[in-house]
């Protein structure tokens, strides 16, 4: 294919990659072709492709696993196209029970992340934290928060734990949380989750499984208490 990279803006490259995923019918969990194949297919350089992949990952459209490839992520619109069991389960589960499940599972995943995390995933976790702090509104913050928790699961380097997290996340999206009232347009500078996320990443970086487990548990309990009070 004719290389037209010099004529493409970053936004056009992202659009082209989105269209490639859609036109090829790639479903959540399916792997994208290798970078060499994608650059040939899209007619762009590897540098431009990687910028487009970074943008889609920030948007939660894809996720990457070191050594295994790049995969299509599930979105809210994908739920009805996937197995109905997580959706049906989510309809029967209260937000309180959902948070109890997260408290049981995600700290254990963070423990494994502290043992197995690669330098690449740690770099992406820190970058995601910065994007959360810079988010201009709550919607973009929550998108990056979702990315952050999935990156912790990816850092465990355990495909079974990653699958468990993905199923948990599908159910979480299906739970009827109701309207959460916000007192500001964007998260304030002293939003508690900022420091909590940083503590999780610091524990993982320090290869301290016990501290990572406790930091994730502390964070989820803090979120739950803001929603429900004591949990």
> Residue 45 and residue 31: Cα distance in Å, rounded?
20
Do 49 and 42 touch, CB atoms closer than 8 A? yes
Domains located in the chain, CATH noted: 5-73 (1.10.10.10), 78-228 (1.20.120.530)
Terminal-residue alpha carbon distance, the chain: 57
**Closest by CA position to 64, among listed 99, 103, 38:** 38
- pTM, two decimals, is 0.66
At 206, list the tokens.
């320090």
> Residue 44 and residue 10: Cα distance in Å, rounded?
11
Q: pLDDT tens across 15-39, in order?
A: 889 999 989 988 877 889 999 999 8
Q: Is the predicted pLDDT of residue 41 greater than 60, yes or no?
A: yes
Q: pLDDT tens across 211-228, in order?
A: 999 999 999 999 988 877
Q: pLDDT tens across 197-206, in order?
A: 999 999 999 9
At 49, list the tokens.
């492709």
> Residue 53 and residue 127: Cα distance in Å, rounded?
14
């Amino acid at each position: 294919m004719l290389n037209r990279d010099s004529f493409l803006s970053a936004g056009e490259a992202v659009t082209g990659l989105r269209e490639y995923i859609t036109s090829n019918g790639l479903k959540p969990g399916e792997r994208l072709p290798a970078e060499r194949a994608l650059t040939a297919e899209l007619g762009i350089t590897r540098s431009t492709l990687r910028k487009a992949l970074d943008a889609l990952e920030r948007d939660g459209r894809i996720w990457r696993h070191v050594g295994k490839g790049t995969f299509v992520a599930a979105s809210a619109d994908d739920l009805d196209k996937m197995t109905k069991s997580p959706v049906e389960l989510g309809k029967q589960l209260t937000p309180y029970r959902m948070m109890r499940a997260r408290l049981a599972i995600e700290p254990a995943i963070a423990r494994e992340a502290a043992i197995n995390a690669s330098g690449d995933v740690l770099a992406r976790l820190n970058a995601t934290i910065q994007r959360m702090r810079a988010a201009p509104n709550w919607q973009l913050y929550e998108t990056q928060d979702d990315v952050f928790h999935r990156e912790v699961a990816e850092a465990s380097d355990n495909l079974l734990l990653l699958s468990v997290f993905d199923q948990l996340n599908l159910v979480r999206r299906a739970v009827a949380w109701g309207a959460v009232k916000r007192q500001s347009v964007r998260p304030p500078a002293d939003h508690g989750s900022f420091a909590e996320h940083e503590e999780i990443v610091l524990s993982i970086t320090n290869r301290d499984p016990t501290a990572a487990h406790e930091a994730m548990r502390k964070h989820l309990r803090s979120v739950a208490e803001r929603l429900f009070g004591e949990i």
